[in-house]
Amino acid sequence: MKRLLPISLCVIMLASLLAGCGTVDTNTKKQGDIKVVTTIFPIYDWVREVAQDDVDIDIDLLLDNGVDLHSYQPTAKDIMDISDCDVFLYVGGESDQWVDKTLVQADNKDMIVLDLIDILGDKAKEEAVKEGMQEDDHEHEEGPEYDEHVWLSLKNVSLFVDKIADALGKVDSQHAPAFKANAAAYSEKLTALDKQYQEAADNSSVKTLLFGDRSPFRYLTDDYSLDYYAAFVGCSAETEASFDTITFLANKVDELGLKNIMQIESSDGSIAKTIKDNTKNKDQEILTLDSMQSVTADRVESGETYLSIMESNLSVFQQALQ
């Protein structure tokens, strides 16, 4: 699906960095005693919630410059940061195939590694190709390809934060009870928000979301027994939809009487608009759900959190089901 840096080149670059550079601060890092490296923003924010102010912690968010999870390539500095961290957390899907080779080179052989899809086990969902979706022509590895967007299920997140608390507690046993307490308090907030999503789904006669885009929200729709249609699978790199895909989705909007067409935050809106223009009434509203696949350091610094984004998504979700 993407080209990775040759590992030999990464090693050479890494050696140069170690010889000639000091620690590089980023806007998304706090200096401390425990060093944690995360790939995506949701994981980064969960670690902050579990650690709170109970311990000095250095949290590094690798994808903080707007790069999408599916096109991310680790730099030599990223590999260096991972190499000696205490805890490394990543999603574990096809987009993270670079991780295994990176971990082989790690200096800290006692590093605790958390793979979200591995944590889910049997609850991890394989990527689904729905009726009407445009076929994705990128090559897949042998074996099942899992839907990577596991963070978009509030129910999954409660499980993840418990595992994060366990991991931090192994590194710092003195603060383990505090980590557990923080995880439990955060899970209560997740459960409360989950109930609001469920109420929105239960109280609506609309049970289908239609995306003029790729749809990374399968975990969310499954959580609330909703159906969905989309132009592409959740991990697709495609940006242009075929005539057949547009026609199918426009007809589905008409058939279901949908008042809204969905897109995700990185979309330019062209596919959703084309679908709208091919419906009978051409009066649907185009709504945007934030999948948090490319949250920037500026957004982190402005105070956005996983919960605040999911709360904003709830408002869109409620409107989409009208």
pLDDT digits (tens, 9 = 90+) for 276-312: 999 999 999 999 999 998 899 999 999 999 999 999 9
Domain 202-320 has CATH 3.40.220.10: no
Query: Do 311 and 289 meet the contact criterion of CB atoms below 8 Å apart?
Result: no
The residue among 87 and 240 whose pLDDT is bigger is: 87
Q: What does residue 229 show for φ and ψ, rounded to 5 degrees? A: -130, 155
For range 7-17, the mean pLDDT: 44
Alpha carbons 134 and 112: distance in angstroms, whole number: 39
Q: Look up residue 197 and give its two tokens.
A: 């999503």
170 CB neighbour count, 10 Å cutoff = 14
For every residue of 32-45, DSSP letters joined together read -SEEEEESSHHHHH
Q: Is the pLDDT of residue 30 over 80?
A: no
For range 227-239, the mean pLDDT: 76
144 pLDDT band, cuts 50/70/90, is: confident
For range 177-192, the mean pLDDT: 98
Q: Is the pLDDT of residue 19 over 70?
A: no
For range 208-217, the mean pLDDT: 93
Query: Do 39 and 89 meet the contact criterion of CB atoms below 8 Å apart?
Result: yes
Query: Do 129 and 236 meet the contact criterion of CB atoms below 8 Å apart?
Result: no
Q: Is the pLDDT of residue 23 over 90?
A: no
For range 116-122, the mean pLDDT: 96
The ranges assigned to domains in the chain are 7-194, 202-320
Question: In this predicted structure, what is the pLDDT of residue 193?
Answer: 98
Question: In this predicted structure, what is the pLDDT of residue 249?
Answer: 97
199 CB neighbour count, 10 Å cutoff = 13
Question: In this predicted structure, what is the pLDDT of residue 214?
Answer: 83
Are the folds of 7-194 and 202-320 the same? yes
143 pLDDT band, cuts 50/70/90, is: low
Q: Is the pLDDT of residue 88 over 50?
A: yes
Q: Is the pLDDT of residue 2 over 70?
A: no
Question: In this predicted structure, what is the pLDDT of residue 12?
Answer: 44
pLDDT digits (tens, 9 = 90+) for 188-204: 999 999 999 999 999 99
Burial pattern 120-146, b for ≥16 Cβ within 10 A else e, equals beeebbebeeeebbbebeeeeeeeeeb
Alpha carbons 125 and 219: distance in angstroms, whole number: 8
Residue tagged 């899992």 (tokens): 146
Q: What is the CATH number of domain 7-194?
A: 3.40.50.1980
